[in-house]
Structures are given as structure tokens and as C-alpha cells.
Amino acid sequence: MSQERQAGGDWPSLGVVVPVYNEERGIERACRTILETAARYPGRLEVIAVDDGSADRSAEILDRLRGEVSGLDVVRHPVNRGYGQALRTGAQRAAELGLDYVAFIDSDLTNPPSDLLKIGELARQGNPYIKASRFVAGGDMSAVVPARRVVSRAGNLVAAALFGTRVRDVTNGFRAGRTDLVCSWPTRENTFAVIVEEFGLALAAGVEPVEFPTSLSARSGEQRRSAFSYSPSLIWAYLRYPLLARARRFRSTTRR
């Protein structure tokens, strides 16, 4: 990346990865809404939809849209490979397209696409890793059911303490980073826990993200139910990475 961009020059190019799995009810609206924000972005912005082996009409809809609109790139997995692999495929595609930064946003519009402009501004300032936060001033998740709000808040407090970070929303999947950095982090998780795995790799590399406030909404009634659930296996997968980070810090301290 040029020194001018690092110092706050032109807006860097941005690839927006949208993982898609069986989202035929809402994927057209999601892509068109994200592309509306792309039209306001003061630079190059490409939307990269990754169809992760959908069994419904998602792939058909994406192929049709690609022929109707500009700025939409579609990559397809022949079989379902999981959320984490969809993100890795999207990041690699952003690198192939020569995009400076890659952002990840869910296909259900529970993250505001307009916040991509906040990401672009923070990238323009030279921040290498950027995360949306529900828990900084201006952030909000009041539209989410209370039980989930409590679990999210508690889980993030625990994760931040174990990681030893000041970041308040470790588990938020709405985020962006320099494409070369993101592609260099060797994530392996294929579940939502890839978000926390990536965060741990970033901290280990000395890269702590800057946060910006965002709002998290709930899925609309017309969409299928979210695949996310607080199952014991997923909770353990989320906790494993901050626990490993805490163990490494403890070993480092005892060796001094």
C-alpha cells in the first residue's frame, strides 16, 4: 500500500465479502443494498458474494444479479465448506482482484451496509485492522432478544480479559483488514469461531484493531432462521482461542 494512503490520502480499494448459504429469500435485496453503499464509496469497492454450496436458488439469483449490476463478483463452492472457508475464499478473491482492504459482512443485513463508509474512512487513515463494535459509545444491539444480548456482552468481557485486549467486541464478525494481512493469518476454523481465531492471530502478530460503533439488528421474518446458536461446541470453540492466548501470556511471564 502506498505511503500516501497510509498517511490518509485517497480511499483504498475495498472488497466486501458476503458469505451466502441458502439465502434465496433475501440475497438479492442484500446485494442491491450493499451495492447502493458501494455507489457512495469514494473509491473502488467490489462486492464478492461467496455461495457456499447453497441447496436453494441462491446461486441462480447471484448469477442473474451479476449480469444485471456492476461491482458484483460471484464465487461458488460446489459443496458446503463452512462459514470460515467462505471468508477465506472471499479474501483470496479480493487479493486476486488487487483490492487493498477486505471487509466481511453478513448477507442478512443485520449489519448496516452504510457502515462500510466508516470502514473506508478508517482504512484511509491507515488502520490495518478494523472491527465494528456493539459495545463502544454509539454502538447498539437493542433489536436483539435480551438473552442473546446478555450472553454476547458476558462472552466479550471474558474474551477481552483472557486476550488482554482493550477491544470491547471481540466476537463481532463485521470487520475489515488489509488484504495482505488477512490472507497471511492461517485460520482453520470453518464455524463462526473463525472470527475469534482470526482476532487471536492478529494480536499475536502485534495488530490490534481499531473499533467503530455499529448497530446489530435481528433477521426479518421473511428470512430463514440464523444458523448461529450458542451450542456447547461453539461456545468452547469461541473460548479456546482466548484461553490459548492467556496460557501463552502466562508462560511468557513465568519465564522472565
Over residues 172-214, the pLDDT tens digits come to 999 999 999 999 999 999 999 999 999 999 999 999 999 999 9
What is the tally of structural domains in the chain?
A: 1
Q: Give how far Cα 205 sits from Cα of 30, 113, 250, Å.
A: 34, 29, 17
Q: Is residue 1 part of a domain?
A: no
If one counts every other C-beta atom within 10 angstroms of the C-beta of residue 231, the result is 10
Residue-wise pLDDT for 72-119, tens only, equals 999 999 999 999 999 999 999 999 999 999 999 999 999 999 999 999
- Kindly state whether residue 150 falls inside one of the protein's structural domains: yes
Residue 9 clears pLDDT 90, i.e. is over it = no
The pTM of this model reads 0.91
Compute the distance between CA of residue 130 and CA of residue 135 in angstroms, rounded to an integer: 15
Q: 27-38 vs 58-68: helix axis angle to the nearest 10?
A: 30
Does pLDDT of 224 surpass 60? no
The reply to whether 171 falls in a domain is: yes
Stretch 223-238: mean pLDDT: 70
Distance separating alpha carbons of residues 205 and 209, to the nearest angstrom = 12
Q: 165: helix, coil or strand?
A: coil
Predicted local confidence at residue 227, as pLDDT: 59
Give residue 93's domain range.
9-254
Three-state secondary structure call for residue 223: coil
Neighbouring CB atoms inside 10 A of 225's CB total 7
Classify residue 2: in a domain, yes or no: no
Amino acid (1-letter code) at residue 149: R
Within a domain: residue 4? no
DSSP state of 106: -
- Specify if 41 maps to a domain: yes
Least confident residue range of 9-13, 44-48, 166-170, 227-231: 227-231
Q: What is the CATH number of the domain that holds 92?
A: 3.90.550.10
Asked if the model's pLDDT at residue 20 lies above 60, the reply is yes
Q: pLDDT per residue over 31-84, tens digit each?
A: 999 999 999 999 999 999 999 999 999 999 999 999 999 999 999 999 999 999
